Amino acid sequence: MLVALISLAALAATVYALVRAVRAMDLDKKEARSRYLSAGLFLALQAFVGVYAAVGMVENDILSALVLNAVLSALSLASACAPQMKERLAAYLGPQGRFPHPLVGAIIFVLLGGAFATLALEVPSNHNLLWMYPLCLLLEWGIVTALLGGLFLIFQRRAGVPSVLALLFFVLGLAEHFVITFKSMPIAPGDLSALSTAMAVAGTGYSYILNPFCLYGMAFAALAVYALRLAALIAPRNQGDKRALVVNLLAGVLCIAGVGAHVTMVDYYNQLNIQVYTWRPLESYYRQGFLPSFISGAQTIKPPVPEGYNIGTAKDLMAEYAEEYDAAEGASIERQQASAQFGEKKPAIVTIMNETFADLSIYQNLHAGYEGPQFYKNIPDALQRGILYVSAYGGGTCNTEFEYLTGNSMAFLGSGTYPYTIYDLARTESLPKQFRDLGYKTTAIHPNHGTNWNRENVYKTLGFDQFLTIKDFQDAEKLRGMVTDAATYDAILEMLESDESPQFIFDVTMQNHSGYETGLVPFDKQVDYPIDGMSDPEVNEYLALIEESDRALKDFLAALRKLDREVIVVFFGDHQPFFPDRFNEQWFPGEDEAAHAERLWQTDYIIWANYDVAGRDQESSVDDLSTNYLGSAMMNLVGAPMTAWEKAHVMLRRDLPALNATGFEDKSLRWYLSSAATAPEDYPKGSPVAEAIAARENLAKMQYFMMFRDGKDIYTKVFQSAANETDPNLAPGTTKIK
């Protein structure tokens, strides 16, 4: 209420002072009305804040209210004194002052207006600009200023249209603030395809409260508008001067065109190193600025259309591969036995994507005698196990789960792309949809915020009935402040024991998340592996966590062995931690480039059952594959009904055993970087690599069809995340995804 009082009192005082000032000028009615109108925008902003605060929609911060109203009052009075201001500026900045041409002074104020407009965009959501990279801030200022300057010149040195753009930058910053408040996600390029949906749900369940930074942003927007007005006062249009009209128009068009050429021709991701790739995109936006991050994302989200692609060709390819599967693997006695058993028993399917679980003994035992997670490595009765080639390193968890749940590969989606936050996945197949159609209850678990990677929306789209988040693990056991693997396994066991219905459960653990210099691992759980005789606290903390994961997995599988129902477990790590690259560079010099890279982009997986799967040997047979194939491999092994997409995966692996965002493997088990696929003519026809490239091209066409169909309406929609409701049939505290 104090903000309302300050704003309304300031408005009244400003109006009073404005009326007195205009009357003192002894102007005719027309000129007096013009002076009042020139202050109208700033008075309107004051009135808006006062009324908005009076209804409780502005945080009660006195300092921001005082600053905003001081700025608005001052600008209102200054606007009413425009002729006097023009004379003073002309005397100081015009031809008789410091500059030979008034346009030079105008450019100074346009540059200043661009700076204020940039701050109006950033400040409402980005509260610590000192954390922002200076060059990114400079780049954003340059883009904003060029746009404002271009409009200023195109409209013949008038301030009206560029002022509207400056206000729109503030509105965009305000929208960013509200989107972050509601979704814990920044505005992504894909959201532009869902504006109609956003407008439809904008008034439902949301409170649009302005915080102090929103008020500061409004103050900067007002200063931007006034700076542009001063630019127009210094260098007004020369009436009737056609040459000046043409010059202004051409210069303005060049400014706008320059921005367009810059954002389309400069590769932000690779050339400027502006990348939205952290596990929480907000940090990228805070460090790099809204416009640079948004442009970088926009440049990378458009999936390339495979050469020769059309819907008919993709469907035919999938049908051909499916027919081959039905005639070969699908017709085998082993597969038929497993299928009959699956249809009868409908075993529970439990997938554990274990945070940063990897066997770092592949790095020459870390020069410390490290042998890796011992229980995991010595499970004797898995259906299948091996290396899992992933498309994430050091972070990017969501891309690994995307590949597993949908069977799509990041190999065709570009670097720095995160489908969960960009693409509309409603049309693509997914394991939870598939099992839900088979009569299974589908549950996702992630003991952290459901907004991370937009999961609360994506999981609904992918077919999960319910999603357990950190809210459901408030009293759970924690390690370093993170919910333990064991706590999530206990939740799974409770679901399996309390509900006999067939279930598909997907558990994304949190225990092993970086960083690894917290020092919070209890003494009795600590390990010490001196690397080349030197102890590394970061590595030791990570390895201690992996030992805890190994111990928890041992206890979980032991409990499942005693459980009186059939359960399939798929267990894998999402990516390696961020530090093994230094070991890779130091200890493996001079080796094949692709093999060298792939060592970083691999974890491990097992497919295990607590019962004898008919037709299958449970002797932990080894088969290295990539994450996009893992779901299909599991479905094939356990006898579950398979789609044509999954059957195609099984058959593709004859020529393309594995692929990820970094490279691909041929049937001779040799790895190639992804760039090799762009030059198939470099390899002999019929060679393993040529056949792998051909299979990769076929997979690209089928995947484009599975995800994008005709390439239209491919981006993320705005979901009604606030529409969740409690269902009495679910576990206590669990939210139902509507």
Q: Which two tokens stand for residue 210?
A: 């302005």
Candidate ranges 1-10, 182-191, 585-594; pick with highest mean pLDDT? 585-594
Decide: 518 and 480 in contact? Cβ < 8 Å: yes
Q: Give the pLDDT of residue 515.
A: 83
Q: Give the pLDDT of residue 87.
A: 64
Q: What is the mean pLDDT of residues 464-478?
A: 96
Amino acid residing at 677: A
Neighbours of 418 (CB within 10 A): 26
Q: Which CA distances in Å does 665 have to 45, 48, 394, 691? A: 61, 62, 22, 11
Q: How far apart are CA 148 and CA 158, in angstroms?
A: 11
Decide: 328 and 172 in contact? Cβ < 8 Å: no
Average pLDDT, the chain: 89
- Per DSSP, the three-state class of 633 is helix
Phi first, then psi: what are they for 202, rounded to 5°?
-60, -30
- Of 236-240, 701-705, 712-716, which range is least confident? 236-240
Buried b / exposed e over 458-482, threshold 16 CB at 10 Å, is: bbbbbbbbbbbbbebbeebeebbeb
Q: Give the pLDDT of residue 98.
A: 59
Neighbours of 151 (CB within 10 A): 23
3-state secondary structure 272-310: CCCCCCCCCHHHHHHHHCHHHHHHHHHHHHCCCCCCCCC
Q: Give the pLDDT of residue 131.
A: 87
Phi first, then psi: what are they for 273, rounded to 5°?
60, 35
Tallying the residues shown for the chain, one arrives at: 738
Q: How far apart are CA 370 and CA 355, in angstroms?
A: 20
Q: How far apart are CA 402 and CA 386, in angstroms?
A: 20
Place of tokens 């994008």: 708
Decide: 284 and 277 in contact? Cβ < 8 Å: yes
In this prediction the pTM is: 0.71
Give the pLDDT confidence of 610-643 residue by residue, as tens digits: 999 999 999 999 999 999 999 999 999 999 999 9
Dihedral (CA of 121, 124, 125, 127) sign: positive
Q: How far apart are CA 117 and CA 109, in angstroms?
A: 12
Q: Is the pLDDT of residue 102 over 90?
A: no
Count CA atoms closer than 13 A to 733's CA, side-chain side: 11
Q: Give the pLDDT of residue 255.
A: 95
Q: How far apart are CA 453 and CA 251, in angstroms?
A: 43
The rounded Cα 136 to chain-centroid distance in angstroms is: 19
Q: What is the mean pLDDT of residues 388-407?
A: 92
Looking at the DSSP bridge assignments, the partners of residue 626 are 389
Q: Give the pLDDT of residue 723.
A: 29
- Per DSSP, the three-state class of 580 is coil
Q: Give the pLDDT of residue 507.
A: 98
- Per DSSP, the three-state class of 663 is strand
Q: Is the pLDDT of residue 86 over 70?
A: no
Angle between helices 2-24 and 40-54 (to 10 degrees): 160
Place 202 in a pLDDT band, splitting at 50, 70 and 90: low
Q: Is the pLDDT of residue 190 over 60?
A: no
Place 416 in a pLDDT band, splitting at 50, 70 and 90: low
Phi first, then psi: what are they for 110, rounded to 5°?
-65, -40
Please give the DSSP secondary-structure letter assigned to residue 262.
Answer: H
Q: How far apart are CA 83 and CA 64, in angstroms?
A: 31
Give the end-to-end CA distance of the chain in Å, rounded to a whole number. 38
Place 388 in a pLDDT band, splitting at 50, 70 and 90: very high
Give the pLDDT confidence of 265-292 residue by residue, as tens digits: 998 877 898 877 543 567 888 999 999 9
Which domains occur in the chain, in start order?
A: 81-264 (no CATH), 347-642 (3.40.720.10)
Q: How far apart are CA 487 and CA 552, in angstroms?
A: 9
Q: How far apart are CA 68 and CA 722, in angstroms?
A: 32
Decide: 408 and 428 in contact? Cβ < 8 Å: yes
Q: Give the pLDDT of residue 193.
A: 39
Q: What is the mean pLDDT of residues 388-400?
A: 89
Q: Which CA distances in Å does 669 have to 275, 319, 384, 691? A: 32, 27, 18, 13
Q: Is the pLDDT of residue 729 over 50?
A: no
- Of 94-108, 378-392, 715-729, which range is least confident? 715-729
Decide: 714 and 707 in contact? Cβ < 8 Å: yes
Strands 671-673 and 663-665: antiparallel
Give the pLDDT confidence of 22-68 residue by residue, as tens digits: 777 777 777 777 777 888 899 999 999 999 999 999 999 999 999 99
Contacts of 134 (CB under 8 A, 6+ apart): none
Contacts of 178 (CB under 8 A, 6+ apart): 206, 208
Q: What is the mean pLDDT of residues 252-265?
A: 93
More confident residue, 131 or 728: 131
Q: What is the mean pLDDT of residues 164-177?
A: 94
Q: Give the pLDDT of residue 22.
A: 77
Q: How far apart are CA 155 and CA 254, in angstroms?
A: 13
Q: Give the pLDDT of residue 111.
A: 96
Place 415 in a pLDDT band, splitting at 50, 70 and 90: low
